[in-house]
């Protein structure tokens, strides 16, 4: 890979240092997996850099201005399309639906490049979800801010709908396959 991607990886490693995901894995593995998935759809270094940086503004003290100053407008805009307004003054459970609706409104009309990052991010998340689901079924959602599998299904079904122009890519197909495995047997 090139200099921009290497710089993004180093930046993300620093930003996510000491963080862990709900499944106990080191946080940085998720952005790296997201970038690896994106690399199956494009070799554009800016998109790959944005993929590895996609959670820095949302889940670390890094600001959108930090990303823009360090990586420029294009990468900053791609990261912004992946960044939720978490509303830290309110509980995450209470704001889940509005945050997802706002994010989906961005996804619906964003560029194909942003949609590549979205589908890669969500596929990485779904792979992790599936590993736990295979052990405990729908109880997997008890650890989430939104515990209702029907609401989770709505969110992921909408992502599939809004990213359907990626349906020829293996990442989209795998995401759809895992979605069906988790949600369609429990309608």
pLDDT along the chain (187 residues), means of 10: 93 96 90 98 98 96 97 97 85 91 96 97 95 91 91 97 98 98 79
Sign of CA dihedral 43, 163, 170, 185: positive
Q: Taking Cα atoms as reference points, which of 84, 14, 5 lies closest to residue 50?
A: 5
- CA dist., res. 52 & res. 142, Å (int): 28
Q: Could you identify the residue written with the tokens 């949302």?
A: 58
* pLDDT at residue 1, as a whole number: 67
Task: Point out the residues that are catalytic.
Answer: 58-59
* pLDDT at residue 159, as a whole number: 98
Cβ atoms of 69 and 156 within 8 Å: the answer is no
The boundaries of the domain holding residue 146 are 3-186
* pLDDT at residue 186, as a whole number: 58
Beta bridge partners of 20: 26
CATH of the domain at 23: 1.10.3210.10
What's the total number of domains in the chain? 1
pTM: 0.94
Cβ atoms of 156 and 179 within 8 Å: the answer is yes
């Amino acid at each position: 890979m090139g200099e921009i991607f290497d710089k993004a990886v180093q930046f993300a490693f620093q930003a996510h240092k000491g963080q862990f995901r709900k499944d106990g894995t080191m946080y940085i593995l998720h952005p790296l997996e997201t970038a690896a998935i994106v690399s199956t759809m494009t070799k554009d270094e800016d998109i790959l850099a944005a993929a590895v940086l996609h959670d820095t503004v949302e889940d670390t003290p890094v600001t959108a201005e930090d990303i823009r100053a360090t990586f420029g407008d294009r990468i900053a805009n791609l990261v912004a399309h992946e960044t939720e307004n978490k509303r830290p003054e309110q509980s995450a459970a209470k704001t889940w639906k509005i945050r997802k609706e706002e994010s989906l409104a961005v996804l619906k009309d964003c560029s194909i490049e942003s949609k590549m990052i979205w589908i890669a991010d969500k596929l990485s998340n779904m792979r992790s979800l599936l590993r736990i689901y295979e052990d405990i079924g729908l109880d997997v959602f008890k650890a989430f801010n939104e515990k209702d599998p029907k609401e989770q299904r709505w969110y992921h079904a909408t992502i599939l709908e809004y990213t359907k122009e990626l349906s020829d890519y293996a990442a989209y197909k795998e995401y759809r396959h895992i979605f069906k495995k988790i949600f369609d047997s429990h309608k």
